């Protein structure tokens, strides 16, 4: 059994971020399927022992058990990416990746709430969730518009980083919660680049063009 084990739910966009990282880094890993809906298995004692907050993804790397999507992405990049590109070691590259990981963990939380409301009927005000999600996605589009004028194609560096991995699903899955891609041209351009990365994988809700 490989050292890397991901407790995974296929429809969870945060699990998808980790699946993307594992695939883009070309790592050998093993999924453990968790019955989140309707089983709520992630809220049972064995899972709460691994993450008391009751959320996926959870990554096991040898003796290390880690929760928190952005922490898992940072760990994978630091521990398993010899190129050091996915998480630049220091300087502005490191700082800007952290800025966007923070944006992903905090500001894009609303897009996760919007999608769960749409797909799994969790409580929430649909119109308010959608408006706040559109606002967060527009911040990303404004950033990538400015990056384009500086001839840069990625969020934080001259190449893709874990910031791009953390930000991709909220945009790629936005149609799940009623936000089309029409009004975000800079993100459409970026998503096309992202989809062409070697090792890119889709998930349900992200079309696999054929």
Partner 1 sequence: MSTGDSWHPVGLSHSIEAGSSAGTRLFGQELVVWRDTSGIAHVWEDRCPHRGMKLSFGFVRGDHIACLYHGWQYDRGGYCQYIPAHPDLEVPKTFKVPVYLTQEQGGMIWTTLSGNPPPLPIDRDQTVPLRSLYLDCSAEAAIAELGAVRLMPLASRVLADTVVHRLTETLYAVSTGDDRLLIGIQVISETRSALHLTICGWPKLYEGAGQSHFLDWALQLRRAIEQPRPRALAARGATAENS
The radius of gyration of the chain's CA atoms, rounded to the nearest angstrom, is 17
| Shortest Å distance, C-beta 128 to partner 1 | 15
Going by C-alpha positions, the residue among 1, 19, 4 that lies closest to residue 62 is 4
Instruction: Pick between residue 122 and residue 145 the one whose CB is nearest to partner 1.
Output: 145
Instruction: Pick between residue 44 and residue 135 the one whose CB is nearest to partner 1.
Output: 135
**Residue keyed to tokens 């999507």:** 69
In the set 122, 189, 197, 205, which binds partner 1 (CB under 8 A)? 189
Token pair, residue 44, equals 């049972």
Instruction: Give me the helices (H) in the chain, please.
Output: 13-24, 45-50, 69-80, 91-106, 109-120, 126-149, 162-172, 185-195
| Shortest Å distance, C-beta 150 to partner 1 | 7
127 binding partner 1? (CB under 8 A): no
Binding piece for partner 1, criterion CB under 8 A, among 8-16, 27-35, 66-74, 141-149 = 141-149
Total interface residues for partner 1 by CB under 8 A = 18
158 binding partner 1? (CB under 8 A): no
- Is the Cβ–Cβ distance between 76 and 21 less than 8 Å? yes
**d(C-alpha 114, C-alpha 116), whole Å:** 6
**d(C-alpha 5, C-alpha 206), whole Å:** 24
| Shortest Å distance, C-beta 1 to partner 1 | 38
The strand order across the sheet containing 58-61 reads 29-33, 4-8, 58-61, 64-67
3-class DSSP assignment, residue 97: helix
Instruction: Pick between residue 1 and residue 196 the one whose CB is nearest to partner 1.
Output: 196
| Shortest Å distance, C-beta 196 to partner 1 | 12
In the set 68, 117, 145, 178, which binds partner 1 (CB under 8 A)? 145
181 binding partner 1? (CB under 8 A): yes
150 binding partner 1? (CB under 8 A): yes
**Residue keyed to tokens 């905090």:** 106
In the set 78, 146, 158, 200, which binds partner 1 (CB under 8 A)? 146
Going by C-alpha positions, the residue among 15, 41, 21 that lies closest to residue 81 is 21
Residues that bind partner 1 (CB under 8 A): 142, 145-146, 149-151, 175, 180-183, 185, 188-189, 192, 207, 209-210
């Amino acid at each position: 059994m490989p050292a890397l084990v991901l407790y995974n739910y296929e429809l969870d966009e945060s699990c998808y971020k980790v699946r993307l990282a594992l695939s883009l880094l070309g790592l050998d890993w093993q999924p453990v399927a968790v019955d989140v809906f309707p089983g709520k298995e992630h809220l049972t004692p064995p899972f709460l022992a691994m993450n008391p907050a009751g959320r996926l993804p959870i990554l096991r790397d040898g003796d290390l058990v880690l929760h928190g999507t952005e922490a898992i992405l940072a760990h994978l990049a630091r521990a398993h990416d010899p190129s050091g590109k996915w998480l630049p070691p220091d300087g502005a590259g490191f700082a800007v990746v952290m800025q966007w990981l923070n944006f992903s963990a905090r500001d894009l939380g609303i897009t996760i709430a919007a999608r769960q409301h749409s797909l799994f009927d969790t409580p929430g005000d649909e119109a308010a969730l959608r408006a706040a999600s559109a606002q967060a996605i527009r911040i990303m589009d404004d950033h990538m518009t400015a990056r384009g004028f500086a001839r840069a194609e990625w969020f934080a560096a001259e190449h893709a980083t874990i910031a791009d991995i953390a930000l991709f699903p909220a945009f790629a899955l936005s149609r799940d919660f009623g936000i089309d891609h029409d009004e975000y041209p800079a993100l459409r351009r970026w998503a096309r680049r992202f989809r062409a990365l070697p090792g890119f994988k889709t998930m349900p809700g992200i079309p696999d063009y054929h």
